[in-house]
Amino acid sequence: MAAKSDQISTFLVFFLIIKIQIGVGILGYQRIIIQSAGNDAWIAVIISGIIYSFGIWGMYKVLNCHDMDLIGIQKRLFGKWLGGLLNIIWILYWLMVGISVLRSYLEIVQSWVFPQINTWLVTSIFALLIYYVVLGGFRVVTGICFLGICIPSYLILTFYFPLEYTHFRNLLPIWNHSFQDLALASKQMSYSYLGVSTLMMYYPLIKNRKSSQKWAQLGNLTTVLVYLFITILTIGFYSEGQISRYIWATLSFWGIVKMPFVERFEYIGIATWVLVLVPSVCLYIWVSARGISQYFNIEQKKIYALLLILLVVITNLIKARKMINQITDYVANIGLIMEIPYVLFLVCLSTVISKKRKIKK
């Protein structure tokens, strides 16, 4: 079991869950769901939130049943070869999500602030920063996640400015879209909530892990509320035709922020977003390194350098906007299958196995 000095307080799970769910996606998820569900998109936000709440319940069910991390559970349930394959898929998935988060952020920086930025240089600096974080162990990763929520939370205040121009009548009539539309939007919305699966790796490091579920659920609820707020604001602020032209709708909100000493608030917003993004990438890198170290029995500190070199290289290989989108979609689709249906499958499997064992005894 993990050393006591590595363990984190139970309520910090709340922050870890929020952190992993609110990343770069929140800056521009609206266009996609509003295209499918129009003014009912906010219902999709709630539906997929509930699905994720269900997913977290499933994860805790599996984790509490085995009391070890996902790598160990898969090894136990599926044996060395199949379990190993699944483990490698998970590790690659986490790594790819981390990379796509960083790449999406760089894309924003390139299209809003610095079109000519040297991505090699910037990703290397980011990699150094991440390396410095993860070397500090899980407590530091959690710490930066915590600060990464507290410090940028002032950005919520900036939504006061668009509030003035919001027409809440846009929400009416409620439920004028078909179930198919809503289902599609919910599925698309689920991409924004991805990442909860990291819970299955840091679970052994939580102090009172069995009773930490309420914090995880509360974290998920907070995320849903934040997304709900921004979605309703978007529906009220933009018309449906307008939103299809905005790739980063949340960023465009900042366009109308006016203060006597700041003209274009987007720049400050994007710069602050470093504090939002770095912790999530750190968590993904930590989780994949943890996975590798658990599975191959290598010391965790030795893996980081390799993972971060991979991060820098792959981030720079993905260049075109189209390619970024493709990879993000691809990773998100895999994640969607793994985080909800696959976890529920694990729940069924472990309950069946534990029942069988009881009967044998």
In sequence order, the 6+-apart residues with CB closer than 8 A to the CB of 159 are 229, 230, 233, 253
Asked if residue 278 binds other proteins (CB under 8 A), the reply is: yes
Q: The tokens of 130 are what?
A: 């991440």
CB 220 within 8 A of CB 56: yes
Asked if residue 2 binds other proteins (CB under 8 A), the reply is: no
Q: Reduce the DSSP state of residue 99 to 3 states and report it.
A: helix
Residue with tokens 């977003």: 273
Among 26, 37, 63, 144, binds other proteins (CB under 8 A): 144
Q: Nearest approach, Cβ of 311 to other proteins (angstroms)?
A: 15
Asked if residue 301 binds other proteins (CB under 8 A), the reply is: no
Q: Based on CB atoms, which residue is closest to other proteins, 5 or 297?
A: 5
Q: Nearest approach, Cβ of 216 to other proteins (angstroms)?
A: 17
Asked if residue 256 binds other proteins (CB under 8 A), the reply is: no
Q: The tokens of 280 are what?
A: 């999530």
Q: How far is CA 290 from CA 47, 189, 206, 253, in A?
A: 32, 28, 15, 38
Asked if residue 143 binds other proteins (CB under 8 A), the reply is: yes
Asked if residue 312 binds other proteins (CB under 8 A), the reply is: no
Q: Which of 45, 18, 20 is nearest to 30 (CA)?
A: 45
Q: Based on CB atoms, which residue is closest to other proteins, 15 or 94?
A: 15
CB 108 within 8 A of CB 115: no
Among 2, 76, 111, 263, binds other proteins (CB under 8 A): 263
Among 132, 168, 175, 296, binds other proteins (CB under 8 A): 132
Among 140, 218, 221, 347, binds other proteins (CB under 8 A): 140
Asked if residue 146 binds other proteins (CB under 8 A), the reply is: yes
Residues that bind other proteins (rule: CB under 8 A) add up to a total of 35
Angle made by CA atoms 246, 179, 339, in degrees to the nearest 5: 75
Q: The tokens of 143 are what?
A: 């710490």
Task: Count CA atoms closer than 13 A to 246's CA, side-chain side.
Answer: 24
Per-residue x/- track, 95-124, other proteins (CB under 8 A): --------------x---xx--x---xx--
Q: Nearest approach, Cβ of 177 to other proteins (angstroms)?
A: 39
Alpha helix ranges (H) inside the chain? 12-21, 30-37, 41-66, 70-108, 119-135, 138-150, 160-163, 179-193, 199-202, 213-237, 240-243, 249-253, 265-296, 300-317, 321-339, 341-360
Q: What is the dihedral of CA 269, 272, 273, 275, to 10 degrees?
A: -170
Among 29, 42, 90, 126, binds other proteins (CB under 8 A): 126
Asked if residue 311 binds other proteins (CB under 8 A), the reply is: no
Stretch that binds other proteins, among 90-98, 125-133, 188-196, 235-243 (CB under 8 A): 125-133
Q: Nearest approach, Cβ of 121 to other proteins (angstroms)?
A: 8
Among 50, 85, 156, 262, binds other proteins (CB under 8 A): 262
Asked if residue 271 binds other proteins (CB under 8 A), the reply is: yes
Q: Based on CB atoms, which residue is closest to other proteins, 82 or 150?
A: 150
CA–CA separation, 306 vs 211, rounded Å?
35
| Site for other proteins, rule CB under 8 A | 8-9, 12, 109, 113-114, 117, 121-122, 125-126, 129, 132-133, 136, 139-140, 143-144, 146-147, 260-264, 267-268, 270-275, 278
